[in-house]
Every structure is written in structure tokens, then in C-alpha cells.
Structure 1
Amino acid sequence: MSKSETGPPAWDIADPEAAVMSRLVSELAAADTGVDRAGVWSEPLWRLVRDAGATLWSIPTEQGGPACPRPLFLQRYAQLASASLTAAFVLSQHDAAVRRLSAAARHPAAKLWLDRIRSGDAFATVGISQLTTSRRLGAQALVATELVPGRYRLRGAMPWVTAAQRADVFVTGALMEDGRQLLVALPAERPGVAVRPPFALAALQASCTAEVSLDDVHVDDSDLLAEPGADQSSQPSAVGTAGLETSALALGQARAAIDALAGLAADKADLAEPSDELFRAWSDAWSSLLACARGEPDAPNSGHVRSRSNDLVLKATQAYLLARKGSGFVLSEPAQRWARQALFFLVWSCPTPLAQATIRDLAGLCPA
């Protein structure tokens, strides 16, 4: 089947903001090359996202957000990622924080920050990986000590915080001496909070992901998003970065590469069949993601969707790099940037079973 017979699959869901999304995608794509090469925070890039209203998508309608059902929300994520994975990644971390604030809306701190976010006056990000990794028990764990009833001291670090230098508030968690966890809306300006220099990442450097250290930072009950509990990281909406949102970003990045490969097929007949096959694989993976988002009875689980999305984004970006040959390896070219960015999905909130299965597959071994 030729490219003309297949072509890029249409986005499935009618979007009332289609014109806004089309303009935003075009503007982000134009800005993305320069942002990646500069490798520093780009306020103009974030302003495009904010001015389009994207920072409000994750706020429920009952809390003043726009009507954005989950399937449409994921489609918009994929569209943004097809234009700028940096912008989409930063937004995903902001939204992870917003979802946790929304789930805790009855608490004064959550209401305060949601009001500021809705007005465009605050940027939120999430710093909670220390509750979900081995760091939670190590020397650098973030520990909360209750000084007097209702007042706590935080010591340690948030090891992985995106857009840390831009944040006004961190949604974070700390481990208490009795094993309970404290979930906090921590203002960035609180004394003792220090943002370290951004990590030198292989891709997405402009996300300015960094460690944030906390040295005798004081919080009280007015900063809490929940009563101290056994496992705040497993509560609904507590993290929100390892599920379908991540898969949507991977499929958005994959689609950009497949579209570009199909564009080359017009002059290179040998690329027509591979691009058609990648389009079919993308359509199948996208349909699975939407079925999972809708909760359809026969839908695959989110782990299966993530596995397919990871596999496709790696194959699609490397196929386009191969097709572009040496010219695609130049820093100004999207081919090399997309291939580097695809590797991020191997390490970003990648479930252990998927990581183990991928290693076995790369080694030519059968699944365990």
C-alpha cells in the first residue's frame, strides 16, 4: 500500500479547541529546535503553552477548569509531544502537581494554589519520586520530623524535579520517623529550599530537571495536602506520571517521526512500505490507548499500552534517523533530537517489569 493510500491517521476525537491546538502545535514545532540546542529554560516556549490555556486542562470543571474529558486530554498531550516533547514533558509534571492539588481541594493549601494556577499567577511541579524509589530510605531521603503537634521540619532532597527553577510550589512528600508519609504543597520561596543546577541530560535539557535540597525547612498543617498516612504516593492522583499520559507523549513523538518518514517516501519509494507499516502500528497503539482511557471492557491495561508505545517511539525515531542518514545526525536536525528523546521513555517512570522485558528482548531472550 502506498503512502497516498494510507497517510497520517486522523486524530480520533473532535476538539472544540481544534483551531487553538493547530496554532499551538505549529508554534511549538517552530520553537523546539532552538530550545533543545540552547538547553536552558525557555519562558517563550512555556508562554505558548500557558497562553493557549493548556495549564488548565487538568483542573476539573467543578473546580473552575475547562471541560476536557480524559481521552481528549490525552490526544492533546500527544499533539503537543509531536511538536515539542520538552513542552509536553514540562506540562505533564505541572499537571501531575495540579491533579494532586485538585484531589486535596478541601485543604486550604490546595485551594490557595489552585486559585493562583487558574489565574496564571503560579507554576506548580511535582517532586515525589523520593517516595517511590530506593532513595526514600537512603542518606538523601526526604525526612519529616514532627517538632510539635501540627508543625514539621523537612530535611533531605527531592531528587528529580522538572522545571524546578521556574516553580512557585512543589507538590512533594516526606517520610516520617514512624513510617507515615507527609504530602505537602511546599512554596519554592520557603527558607531552606535550594534548587541545584539542572542535570546534564542526554535530551530534554531545557526542561531544567534538577535536584531540590531541603535544609531544615519548616512546614505546618496549613501546608499539608492530606493527613499523614501510610503511603501517600499510592493515593489517587498522587503521582500521575507513569500511566497513560506518558504513553500519549511517546505516541506523539512517534507520530512526528512517522509523519516525517512518510514525507521522505514521496521521493524514495523504498520508504513507502515501512512508513505505511509504522502508520498501521501507530493507529493500533493509539486505539488501544483510547480504549484504556475510556475504560472499555476489552481494553488492554496501561502497562501493555506503555510497552507498545515505548517500542513504537524507539522504532519510529530510529527509522527516520536511518532514512535521513548523516544529515539527520546534525544537531540542527530533528531526526537526532527525536531519537535521543525517545530514549527518555526507557527511564522515565518505566515500570520494572517493562524494563526487565525490554532488556531481555534486546538480549534476544524469550520473555521471562
Structure 2
Amino acid sequence: MFTSPLADHPAVVAAARIADDVLAPHAAAADDPARGVDPAHLAQLADARLLSVTVPEAEGGYGASARVDAEAVELLSGACTATWFVTTQHNTPQALARGTQGLPPEAVTHGPAAARHRAGLADASTTAGIAIAHIRRPGPPAVRTERDGTGWRFSGSADWCTGWGLIDLVMIAAATADDRFVLALVPARDQPGLRAGPPLPLSVMGGTRTVALEMDGLAVGADDVLAVLDAPPWRVVDAARTANTKPAALGLLRRVLVGLAELGTARNRPEAVDTALALAPRAVELRAEAYALMDVPMAERVPERVAVRAELGELTVRAAHALIAARAGSALLTTSPEQRWAREAAFHLIQGQTAGVRAAQLAAFGHP
């Protein structure tokens, strides 16, 4: 149903092995807030260089293409979305430290923390999370910063930070009065001026240790500044980037359609197989379109990217619910993966969602 010419790449081979042998058997536990993502699994992924697929070999990665990385992400997220979600937080601090953040050079001023943490972030011997979703919201800044000598003071609330207690560092974004973002990279632990709330009661991926952060005059020394960004160009790049379909979402769709066909075969329910085969061609077509668009310069063909992302989201929700119908009542047992996959399909709708993406998703649901 889904084939790839990249299946023999060492990163993809490693991802397939860990996905099948380690992550998939633990996926239900990783979703459960009482158990959660296993730190040992995160370490295995880092040791296998799967947090550093595109990083040059000299810096501890595979030196592979973004397409190889996407293939690995599809496999990992399809096996365990919760574990993948903790690891994907690492990407942004890693890219910023290495100067590969996709912003115009004149819009970024790197701070001392970039050089200090570059090597550890590159090979993931140091892991990082992020608290930046709030800077996408319109209105007054949720986290503000002001100069304090050579450093900064952060105050406000960051609603989302994933991996608390599992990561070494956290990158926090704060807005200045002159429309810039200061990105601090500080130890991911409670400290004077920084307090993490309890894990949020999420309906999906409850074991990711996602918390809100409260800052009350958090002192950020000059050495802890990862970068200072001009906000207007960041918003343009972010809007274009979030228009893209996420490989992780494709990994879930892939897993669900394969599961639907397998269930139909195992339980002698040919209508389930027929449904999988009916949905698969459009899924394969949209997946190819999504990856083709990722090869186009980021600022181009944004409406097409949004439309593809929206249709794939609707298709994933539909496929996940078809699998529940095929499995019947037992699909809603907490021990069954089908109900978890349906919840994960909902998550992929809202991850990195902007107003434009939301409008396109609603249009896709209204006109499937």
C-alpha cells in the first residue's frame, strides 16, 4: 500500500527497527499519563541518531536529506505518536543552534547559547523542548521580556511545554516591546522565576508530560540567549511552514490504513479491506503532493500546501473512524489502539494550526 525507495537508508532501517520492536509495544503506556513516555526509549532514539537525521555525520547525525528524515518520522510517529511528539520538540532548538532555522540571516541574531549548546543539540546528547506556541497567538504577548543589564527578564505564561522532566533544556520565547522575540535556552527545571504546572489533562498523548510554564521575572543571562528574532519575518516563515503537511500525520494515516486492511483480512471482513483499498489511492496521491510541495521554496504555493494538509487531515479522521467501525465495540477499549489512533488523528488537526489552516480544514470537512 505504501512503498518507499528510501527503505534501505540506514536511518530508515533504524527507525523501522525501533518503531516495531520498542515503540509500538509501549504506545498505549506512552499515551497513559499514569505511565508515560519511557526516557529509555528517548535515549535509544538519540543513540540511533534519529534526532539528528539531517545533521552532518561529522556532528553526530546521518547527513541525510529532509525526505529521509520525513520517512523516519512517519515510521516513528505511526508506532507511537507520544514518543515522537516529545522528540520533535528538539528540532527547533537544534536548528537554531546550528543556524539552519530557515529565516533570512538579517532577521536572526544568534546568542552565546547557540555556540555553547550546538554540539550537544546536534547529536542529541543534550535534549531540548520548547515553549513558543504562545507567540503565534494574536493580541497582547503572553510572555514579555525587558532588558536587565546584559540579560533579560521574562514574565508571563507559556501554555504548552512538552517533555518536562524528560528533556535537559527548554527554549522559551518572549516578546519585546519593539516586536522581536528573545529565545532563551535554560535548564528544564523549576528555578527562581520559572515554575512548571502539573501535567495537563490531555485527552491524547497524556504521557508526554506537557505542562504550562509560569514566569515571574525569570532572569535570563546573556549566555542563555539562543537567538533574537525579528518578529515580522518569523511570522511569514512560520505561516508558510505550518501550511505544510507534517510527516508525522502521514505516518498515522499510513498506519491506520494498513491496520484497516489487516483487520479486515484477519477477521474475514472484506468490506474493511475494500474500504482501505478505496481510501488508499487518494492517500498515496496526497502524500506524494505533500512531499513535492515541500521541495518548493517555502514562501511559494502556500494555498496549495494548506489545501493538501487540510484534505489529508480530513482523510485521516475518516480512516481512523472507519477502523473503529470495522473493529466494532472492542475498538473503544482503552487497550485497543483504534481509539488511540482516532484521538491522535484529532491531535494532528490542531498541531501547528493557524487561522488559514483551520479554515481549510473546516472546508475539507464540509466538502469531503
**TM-score for both structures, normalised by structure 2:** 0.85
Counterparts in 2 of 1:112-191, with a 5 A limit? 112-118=116-122, 120-134=124-138, 137=140, 141-148=142-149, 150-189=150-189, 191=192
**How many angstroms apart in 1 are the aligned matches of 2:352 and 2:293?**
19
Root-mean-square deviation (CA, aligned residues, Å) is 2.9
Partner of 2:222: 221
Partner of 2:24: 29
Match 1:322 to one of 325, 331, 335: 325
**How many angstroms apart in 2 are the aligned matches of 1:334 and 1:358?**
25
Partner of 2:112: 108
Contact between 2:7 and 2:13, CA under 8 Å: does it hold in 1? no
Q: Give the deviation of 1:104 after TM superposition.
A: 7.3
Contact between 1:58 and 1:95, CA under 8 Å: does it hold in 2? no
**How many angstroms apart in 1 are the aligned matches of 2:307 and 2:242?**
13
- Secondary structure at the aligned position of 2:61 is classed as coil
**How many angstroms apart in 1 are the aligned matches of 2:233 and 2:364?**
34
Contact between 1:242 and 1:349, CA under 8 Å: does it hold in 2? yes
Partner of 2:255: 256
Contact between 1:183 and 1:224, CA under 8 Å: does it hold in 2? yes
CA gap 1:201/1:227 in 2 versus in 1, 3 angstroms: closer
CA gap 1:227/1:334 in 2 versus in 1, 3 angstroms: closer
CA gap 1:314/1:195 in 2 versus in 1, 3 angstroms: same
Counterparts in 2 of 1:33-48, with a 5 A limit? 33-37=28-32, 38-48=34-44
Counterparts in 2 of 1:326-345, with a 5 A limit? 326-345=329-348
**How many angstroms apart in 1 are the aligned matches of 2:55 and 2:341?**
30
**How many angstroms apart in 2 are the aligned matches of 1:107 and 1:211?**
25
- Secondary structure at the aligned position of 1:212 is classed as strand
- Secondary structure at the aligned position of 1:122 is classed as coil
Contact between 2:129 and 2:161, CA under 8 Å: does it hold in 1? yes
Question: Kindly, what percent of the aligned residue pairs are identical?
Answer: 22
In structure 2, stretches of 5+ residues that fail to align are 102-109
- Secondary structure at the aligned position of 1:265 is classed as helix
**How many angstroms apart in 2 are the aligned matches of 1:227 and 1:202?**
34
For the pair 1:19 / 2:13, whether they are aligned, the reply is yes
Amino acid in the other structure paired with 2:79: A
**How many angstroms apart in 1 are the aligned matches of 2:169 and 2:241?**
18
Partner of 2:106: none
CA gap 1:91/1:323 in 2 versus in 1, 3 angstroms: same
Contact between 1:151 and 1:218, CA under 8 Å: does it hold in 2? yes
**How many angstroms apart in 1 are the aligned matches of 2:296 and 2:123?**
33
Partner of 1:3: none
CA gap 1:242/1:183 in 2 versus in 1, 3 angstroms: same
**How many angstroms apart in 2 are the aligned matches of 1:243 and 1:187?**
31
- Secondary structure at the aligned position of 2:230 is classed as coil
**How many angstroms apart in 1 are the aligned matches of 2:16 and 2:161?**
29
Partner of 1:55: 51
Q: Give the deviation of 1:170 after TM superposition.
A: 1.7
Contact between 2:82 and 2:207, CA under 8 Å: does it hold in 1? yes
Contact between 1:104 and 1:110, CA under 8 Å: does it hold in 2? no
- Secondary structure at the aligned position of 1:137 is classed as coil
Counterparts in 2 of 1:187-198, with a 5 A limit? 187-189=187-189, 191-198=192-199
For the pair 1:279 / 2:280, whether they are aligned, the reply is yes
**How many angstroms apart in 1 are the aligned matches of 2:157 and 2:58?**
34
CA gap 1:81/1:119 in 2 versus in 1, 3 angstroms: closer
For the pair 1:302 / 2:305, whether they are aligned, the reply is yes
Q: Give the deviation of 1:14 after TM superposition.
A: 4.3
Match 2:359 to one of 356, 361, 366: 356
- Secondary structure at the aligned position of 2:227 is classed as coil
Partner of 1:92: 88
**TM-score for both structures, normalised by structure 1:** 0.85
**How many angstroms apart in 2 are the aligned matches of 1:321 and 1:128?**
35
Q: Give the deviation of 1:230 after TM superposition.
A: 4.0
CA gap 1:235/1:122 in 2 versus in 1, 3 angstroms: farther
Q: Give the deviation of 1:103 after TM superposition.
A: 1.9
Q: Decide which moves more: 285-294 or 71-80.
A: 285-294
Contact between 1:154 and 1:215, CA under 8 Å: does it hold in 2? yes
Partner of 1:206: 207
Amino acid in the other structure paired with 2:146: T
Q: Give the deviation of 1:165 after TM superposition.
A: 2.8
Question: How many residue pairs are counted as aligned between the two chains?
Answer: 352
Partner of 2:107: none
